[in-house]
Amino acid sequence: EAEVAQSPRYKITEKSQAVAFWCDPISGHATLYWYRQILGQGPELLVQFQDESVVDDSQLPKDRFSAERLKGVDSTLKIQPAELGDSAMYLCASSLGETQYFGPGTRLLVL
C-alpha cells in the first residue's frame, strides 16, 4: 500500500539555524498539505498545495517559513531562522479526494 514519505524523521537544531523538511506524497495525489502538531494538540494547517500552486498559506508564518512544490510532486518546508517555539511535529498529508493520508512526520526540537 502506498504511503506518504517524509524525511528526516527527527531533527534537532539550535535556534537561528535553518531547517528543511521533505515530503513525497502518494503518487497521483494532486493535493498536498503541511500541518504542524504541537504536543498534546491536533494538527493545524500551515500550507496547502494543489499541484504546484499554493491554495492556502494564511497560517504560514511567512517571515520565517517557506514551502514549495516545484514540479507538483514532492514538497519542501523550510524554516529560517528556527525559534524555540517551532519545536513540534511537522506532518505532511496528501489527498486525491476527501481522504487525507498522513506521513510519519518530522519531529523538530529547537534548542
Partner 1 sequence: GENVEQHPSTLSVQEGDSAVIKCTYSDSASNYFPWYKQELGKRPQLIIDIRSNVGEKKDQRIAVTLNKTAKHFSLHITETQPEDSAVYFCAASLSSGYALNFGKGTSLLVTP
Chain positions contacting partner 1, by CB under 8 A: 4, 31, 33, 40-45, 48, 50, 55-56, 91, 95, 97-105
| 3-state SS class at 85 | helix
Q: How many CB atoms lie within 10 A of CB 77?
A: 23
Nearest distance from C-beta of residue 85 to partner 1, angstroms? 18
Of the two residues 61 and 81, which places its CB atom closer to partner 1 in the complex? 61
CB 43 within 8 A of CB 37: yes
Nearest distance from C-beta of residue 25 to partner 1, angstroms? 13
Nearest distance from C-beta of residue 95 to partner 1, angstroms? 8
Of the two residues 81 and 100, which places its CB atom closer to partner 1 in the complex? 100
- Produce one character per residue of 13-36: b if its CB has 16 or more CB atoms within 10 Å, e if not: beeeeebebebbbbeebebbbbbb
